[in-house]
């Protein structure tokens, strides 16, 4: 009781902490001793060349891949041993680099499923999901945030790639996360679409801590406050935007190409 009260009273200074995280697939070490401290409300960018272990780091944070050693701390709570699905209930949401949506459903149903995942209603076999207006209204609101509310009833199979990227983000936002992991949200988008997505990301309130993997430096640098550079699974450089961009190691492994 006292311990619980204590944790609630002292707001954690890190929204997302990663402590000495390691992961190897066979002999290939994809994450080596990675430590991150992301402050509440921070916008963190993770960069690194292909194969640097960025997406694996996300998978370790969400628990979709189990770490060999190290710890993941979410809002002051050690979630390393907590299964992936429970972490969603603790305020962690993510998007996927490779679009991972429900192709047979409408856009609205995709987002409704995101909301249903955190609702006890998901076990109910007798009521009609279409008539759960609070869920569907909340889903429409999330779609409005990404500018897709006018396409809500369109089957996902009939949407463009750029629209699907935004559905990915809408599903994560609908869950009202405390920590949001965005895995290359600009990948494959046209210049106009990039601008739209950038705008909607900038509109996300500061209650949400955002960690983003992105290759497109033009849009990503503007968004990020802190940048972490990964290379071969290790943190090479970390600091403010200016520090990381100015660092010669960044130029060497990343910007130099």
Partner 1 sequence: MKTLALERAGIILGIMLLATLPFWVGNAYYINVASQILLFAVLALALNILVGYGGLVSLGHAGLFAIAGYTAALMLENGYGHLAADLSALAMVLVAAAVFGVLALRTTGIGFLMITLALGQIVWGVAYRWQSLTHGDNGVNVSSRPEPFGISLAGPESFYFATLIVFLVAIAAMALFVRSPFGASLRGTRDQARRMNALGYNVWLIRFVAFLVSGFWTGVAGLLFIYYNGFISPQVAALQTSAEALLMVISGGTATLLGPIAGAAIVVIMKNVVSAYVERWNMALGIIFVLIITFMPEGLVPGSVRLAKLGWQAWRKTGATGRAARETAS
Select from 60, 56, 61 the least CA-distant residue to 75: 61
- Which of these segments, 9-17, 127-135, 205-213, 226-234, binds partner 1 (CB under 8 A)? 127-135
Select from 123, 170, 178 the least CA-distant residue to 143: 170
One of 26, 27, 125, 248 touching partner 1 (CB under 8 A) = 125
Asked whether position 232 contacts partner 1 by CB under 8 A, the answer is no
Nearest approach, Cβ of residue 126 and partner 1 (Å) = 5
29-66 burial, b if ≥16 CB within 10 A, otherwise e? bbbbebebbbebebbbbbbbeeebbbbbbbbbbbbebe
List the x/- string, 18-57, binding to partner 1 by CB under 8 A.
----------------------------------------
Which residue's CB is nearer to partner 1, number 106 or number 228?
A: 106
Asked whether position 166 contacts partner 1 by CB under 8 A, the answer is no
What's the alpha-carbon Rg for the chain, to the nearest Å? 19
Residues of span 94-113 touching partner 1 by CB under 8 A: 94, 96, 100-105, 109, 112-113
- Tell me the C-alpha distance between 221 and 226, whole Å: 9
Nearest approach, Cβ of residue 106 and partner 1 (Å) = 12
Asked whether position 89 contacts partner 1 by CB under 8 A, the answer is yes
Which residue's CB is nearer to partner 1, number 62 or number 209?
A: 62
Q: Are 111 and 171 in contact (CB under 8 A)?
A: yes
Select from 25, 30, 50, 42 the least CA-distant residue to 181: 42
Select from 115, 109, 21, 4 the least CA-distant residue to 62: 21
Residue ranges binding partner 1 (CB under 8 A): 62, 64, 84-86, 88-89, 93-94, 96, 100-105, 109, 112-114, 116-119, 121-130, 132, 171, 175
């Amino acid at each position: 009781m006292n311990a619980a009260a204590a944790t609630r009273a002292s707001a954690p200074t890190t929204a997302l902490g990663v402590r000495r995280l390691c992961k190897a697939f066979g002999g290939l070490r994809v994450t080596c001793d990675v430590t991150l401290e992301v402050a509440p409300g921070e916008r963190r960018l993770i960069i690194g060349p292909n194969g640097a272990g960025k997406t694996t780091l996300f998978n370790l944070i969400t628990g979709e891949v189990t770490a060999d050693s190290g710890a993941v701390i979410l809002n002051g709570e050690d979630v390393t041993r907590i299964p992936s699905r429970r972490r969603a209930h603790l305020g962690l949401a993510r998007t996927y680099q490779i679009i991972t949506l429900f192709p047979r459903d409408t856009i609205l149903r995709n987002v409704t499923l995101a909301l249903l995942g955190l609702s006890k209603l998901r076990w109910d076999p007798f009521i009609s999901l279409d008539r759960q207006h609070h869920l569907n209204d909340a889903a429409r609101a999330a779609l409005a945030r990404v500018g897709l509310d006018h396409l809500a009833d369109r089957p996902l199979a009939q949407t463009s790639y750029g629209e699907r990227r935004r559905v990915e983000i809408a599903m994560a936002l609908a869950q009202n996360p405390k920590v949001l992991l965005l895995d290359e949200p600009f990948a494959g988008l046209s210049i106009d679409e990039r601008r739209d997505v950038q705008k909607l990301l900038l509109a996300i309130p500061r209650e949400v801590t955002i960690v983003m993997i992105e290759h497109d430096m033009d849009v990503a640098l503007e968004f990020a406050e802190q940048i972490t550079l990964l290379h071969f699974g290790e943190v090479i450089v970390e600091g403010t935007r200016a520090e990381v961009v100015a660092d010669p190691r960044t130029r060497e492994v990343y910007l130099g190409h």
